[in-house]
């Protein structure tokens, strides 16, 4: 479903953030990307939606090499991905419903279809009753669940999460991990960057360990 072949990413300011990284995730696999701050986790994740492009090497998503995609083709690639961030990245002047509806509105879905899908996504994360609220009135855990509903509303086959529990206490973090497991149980492929080793130590999952831009384990 996702393959990196000898991927290197060099920033002119700071040198190689990733060096010769190779790994493959099968469809339906759940893997954690670990490593200290600065190890290259965010850089690796940003290459997949083509927020950044690799300096060398090849990336294949769902059978499609993404290196040579044009700007026009990138939005179609991104529809296969659900992105989740540490800081939620919600729009604070929009309701919960409108935040989750955003990807569908951009993709041109009808209002009826948007309503149906947004409520299904909110139901999945347990926020159906809060659709009219604004993000500011929600707890951190609830805001992240809105971020997750937004990421899954278009039913992407792959979910990428960058420190999704970085701002949450252990109990809420475990809840979020429970949601990820549920998505995984229905066949979604997930790659989750985290430095919270305590959280994932109890989960029997594949671990890709980055150290100074090199994949030391799991490749
Ligand atoms: P992590 O997510 O594991 O903390 P990052 O991918 O953010 O690691 O960073 C890896 C390395 O790349 C660090 O040395 C960081 O300073 C550098 N880096 C990340 N993004 C950029 C950028 N946009 N420009 C220059 N250097 C960057
Ligand atoms: P995180 O630690 O949450 O993974 P970072 O702090 O590494 O994220 O990166 C946050 C933002 O800062 C990113 O957009 C990244 O591109 C940018 N960034 C990180 N390191 C550098 C750097 N050395 N030079 C320029 N931009 C950077």
Q: 169-187: per-residue pLDDT in tens?
A: 999 999 999 999 999 999 9
CA of 38 to the centre of ligand 2 (A): 8
Nearest-ligand number for the alpha carbon of 39 = 1
Average pLDDT (211-216) is 97
**pLDDT for res 215:** 98
| Residue ID of nearest Cα to ligand 1 atom 23 | 11
Query: Does the beta carbon of 37 lie inside 6 Å of ligand 2?
Result: yes
Residues contacting 58, CB < 8 A, separation 6+: 3, 4, 5, 6, 7, 65, 67
Query: Does the beta carbon of 42 lie inside 6 Å of ligand 2?
Result: yes
Query: Does the beta carbon of 13 lie inside 6 Å of ligand 2?
Result: yes
| pTM for this predicted structure | 0.90
Q: Where in the chain is the domain with CATH 3.40.50.300?
A: 1-80+156-219
| Residue ID of nearest Cα to ligand 2 atom 2 | 37
| Residue ID of nearest Cα to ligand 2 atom 9 | 42
Average pLDDT (122-131) is 97
Structure tokens at 119: 């409520």
| Residue ID of nearest Cα to ligand 2 atom 13 | 42
Would you say residue 199 has pLDDT above 90? no
**pLDDT for res 8:** 98
| Residue ID of nearest Cα to ligand 2 atom 23 | 14
Could you tell which of 10, 11, 13, 42 is best to mutate to test the pocket of ligand 2, judged by most ligand atoms within 8 Å of the CB? 42
**pLDDT for res 118:** 98
CATH code that applies to domain 1-80+156-219: 3.40.50.300
Q: What percent of the chain has pLDDT over 70?
A: 100
Work out the pLDDT band at 202, boundaries 50, 70, 90.
confident
Query: Does the beta carbon of 11 lie inside 6 Å of ligand 1?
Result: yes
| Residue ID of nearest Cα to ligand 1 atom 22 | 11
């Amino acid at each position: 479903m996702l393959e990196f072949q000898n991927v290197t990413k060099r920033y002119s300011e700071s040198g190689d953030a990733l060096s010769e990284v190779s790994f493959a995730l099968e469809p339906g696999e759940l893997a954690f990307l670990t490593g200290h701050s600065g190890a290259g986790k965010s850089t690796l994740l940003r290459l997949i939606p083509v927020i950044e492009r690799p300096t060398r090497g090849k990336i294949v998503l769902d059978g499609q090499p993404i290196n040579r995609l044009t700007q026009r083709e990138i939005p179609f690639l991104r529809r296969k991905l659900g992105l989740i961030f540490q800081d939620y990245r919600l729009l604070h002047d929009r309701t919960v419903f409108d935040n989750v509806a955003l990807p569908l509105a951009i993709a041109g879905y009808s209002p009826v279809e948007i309503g149906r899908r947004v409520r299904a996504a909110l139901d999945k994360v347990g926020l159906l009753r809060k659709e009219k609220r604004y993000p500011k009135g929600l707890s951190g855990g609830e805001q992240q669940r809105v971020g997750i509903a937004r990421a899954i509303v278009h039913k992407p086959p792959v979910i990428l999460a960058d420190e999704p529990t970085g701002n949450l206490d252990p109990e809420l973090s475990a809840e979020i991990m429970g949601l990820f497991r549920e998505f995984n149980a229905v066949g979604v492929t997930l790659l989750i960057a985290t430095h919270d080793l305590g959280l994932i130590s109890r989960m029997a999952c594949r671990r890709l360990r980055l150290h100074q831009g090199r994949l030391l384990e799991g490749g």
